[in-house]
Each structure stands twice: as C-alpha cells, then as structure tokens.
Structure 1
Amino acid sequence: MATSRPDTAFWILTALASGPQHGYGILRGVSEASSGTASLKTATLYATLDRLTASGAVEVSGEEIVDGRARRYFRLTPQGRTQLESETAELEQRVAAARRALGPAASGGATPRPAHPRSALA
C-alpha cells in the first residue's frame, strides 16, 4: 500500500523511535511497525528524511563505509520525539471519536438503530 506524505513522516519517526537507523533499517522498521501495511520508495524515504532533518525532527548521527558505500545513520531528536508523541495523541483522539460514533458496533455489540427510523406509514 502506498503511504501518503503525512503518514510517511509518521512511520519514519516511529521507526527511528527505537534508535538510530540507516536507510534500509528505516524501511524495514516502517514495514515492521505498520505490520506491512506501509511501504516507502527509497526516493520518498530520503526526501522525507531531508525534510525532517531540515525541520529539526531528525538528525544525522553518523556515517560508515560498508562494502565501499557510505551508510548514513539518522536518529530522532527531542523535537522529533515530541512531534511523534503529538501525532500519536491526535490519532488516538481520532480513533476514540470514531469508536464513539460507531457505538456498540465498534466494540462487537449489537448494531445500533438508525438515528431517524422510517415512519411506519412510509
């Protein structure tokens, strides 16, 4: 499933919450955290990492050379952790609102009656 731009940042921040990661590690972390429902293309990952770095949510934490290629590591900043906590709280509020709107059916109970039942004359 493709991931929208706001979701992309959320999943990257979530993957980095457990510690510094390089690009492939972040891609794997996104897949694991989302139970495989979110997938990112490499170009999207690095464009979003650039944006998150510019905003101060993520920072480069080091580089190493592996098989002749540079591997850059990224980590969540305190600002990024706060951003992730805020987004998580907002998502929890949305879920709670949806569950209230769905009523007992959301928790496996009986199906609620329509708000405006049809008249017996209709």
Structure 2
Amino acid sequence: MYKVDVGKKILSSNEQYAQKNRKFLAENKKLCLNMISSPGSGKTTILAKTITELKGRGRIGVIEGDIKTDIDARRIRETGAPAVQIETEGACHLSAAQVCNALDKLPTDDLDIIFIEN
C-alpha cells in the first residue's frame, strides 16, 4: 500500500485565521473569552450581568453567534457594550474566519475584554 500525502490539512484555512486572531489579540493585549454552550443555557443572561458588574473596570465588546436572529446582540447592546452579530445559519459554532471578520467590525482599540458568545 502506498501512502499519498496531499500536503494540506482539511482545516488549514481555519487554522490560519485562528493564528491570525491569536496574534492580533496578543499584540494588542486583549483578553478574549469564548463562551460555548447549548442554545437557551443562559449565556446571554450571564454575559449581560457580567458586563453590568464590570462597568468601570474594563471596556467590553462582544461577538454574538446566533443561528438566525439578532436578539442576543440587541440585549448586549442594551448594556452599553458594542456587539457584532454573526448569523451562523445553522452551524453549531463560529469559525475562526467569522471571528476574524467580526474583530474587524468591533472598536477593538477601545476595548480591554472581548467575549465571544458561541
């Protein structure tokens, strides 16, 4: 049997974006926390309360992943924090490319902490 090396990982594009995200966050000294849980588990509620509690102690922005609506992003914006909505259209998680594009839309220069609600 011969082994054929195609030389490319199937997720290499996502890995490149993930590396770009890590580099950006590290170089700009941004704390980034990824909240992952099933729909309806309370992520947005916890995040909104956390933002309220941390007011005056850190500037927070949020990347919101949701299957179809912007309800969660609107709830986050009500706290005064900027939020970028990503509609996943049925995908169970955000890709590194989606996060990279969302980081470009957040006012990252003005933020200390970035939450990803995934």
- TM-score, normalised relative to structure 1: 0.28
Q: Which has the higher helix share?
A: 1
Q: Which structure has the greater CA radius of gyration?
A: 1
